[in-house]
Amino acid sequence: MLSLNFSSVLHGQYLHWFLLGAICTLLLFAVSWVIGFLLSLIVVAVRSSGARFLVAAAAGFVGYHRNVPELVQLFVWYFGVPQLLPATWQQLINNTGNSEFIFATIALSLNVAAYMSEDLRSGIRSLPSAQLEAARALGLSYISSMRKVILPQALKVAVPPLVNQSLGLFKSTSLAMAIGVAEMTYVSQQVENESFRTFEAFAVASIFYWTVSFLIMGLGTVWSKRLNMDGTR
């Protein structure tokens, strides 16, 4: 059993699969991250807008995504939502040939947006309220104040939890395998099924995840240091 043979798993068809799996994972991660981050900014803005219905809706959005397992969120989108869509939309999505990827991206983006918005909210709350007052007193509109004064500072504070969320998002891409997205975890199972080299197949996938995880953490530390170089805080 202990005769490990990594080369058998790392060439030809299998290597091809692993590479595609890695690319798929990274793509899923990147797209979800960008959409999620932008969305989280909107959610934060909505939540502090003061309009009762909007605030409640945003709170509900965050509450849903934090209390329902991510896998279930994925299923609601992939299995449940198409049932509600008009036939033309369903056709459109199916014709792309990548419906699984699209739904996975939607589910992951919304989920990470909810968590990131909470981290940003904490970041904003940690700022002295005088900051917003000062900005408004200078004549900036609410949106300008948020954009130019509050959010930049809140982002600095929120970098460590945001890096954690990014890490979480990266690992959550593995859930997409449940709906057939050929990301790394799916591929490692495929390779394992075909080659019977369980340890090697899982090890390759694990090394991929560890490498990127540590890269993300490293980037986060660098980014955090750079943001704090002006000596504030």
How many residues does the structure list for the chain? Answer: 233
Q: In whole angstroms, what is the distance from residue 53 CA to residue 71 CA?
A: 28
Sequence letter at residue 43: V
**Residue of 45, 73, 53 lying closest to 151 (CA atoms):** 45
- For 12, phi then psi, to 5°, come to 60, -135
Q: Is 63 in the site for other proteins (CB under 8 A)?
A: yes
**If residue 44 lies in a helix (H) or strand (E), which one and from where to where?**
helix 12-47
CB neighbours of 19 closer than 8 A, spacing ≥ 6? none
Interacting residue with other proteins among 188, 190, 197, 204 (CB under 8 A):
188
Q: Is 206 in the site for other proteins (CB under 8 A)?
A: yes
Q: How far is the CB of 128 from other proteins (least distance, A)?
A: 20
Q: Report in angstroms the alpha-carbon separations of 45 from 11, 40, 70.
A: 49, 9, 24
Interacting residue with other proteins among 8, 26, 64, 90 (CB under 8 A):
64
Q: Please choose, out of 42-50, 75-83, 108-116, 127-135, the segment that lies near other proteins by the rule CB under 8 A.
A: 75-83
Interacting residue with other proteins among 55, 147, 161, 199 (CB under 8 A):
199
Interacting residue with other proteins among 158, 185, 190, 197 (CB under 8 A):
185
Interacting residue with other proteins among 3, 7, 50, 83 (CB under 8 A):
83
Q: In whole angstroms, what is the distance from residue 198 CA to residue 5 CA?
A: 10
Q: Please choose, out of 35-43, 71-79, 107-115, 147-155, the segment that lies near other proteins by the rule CB under 8 A.
A: 71-79
Q: Under the rule (CB under 8 A), what is the footprint of other proteins?
A: 1, 63-64, 66-73, 75-76, 79-81, 83-84, 171-175, 177-178, 185, 188-189, 198-199, 202, 205-206, 209-210, 213-214
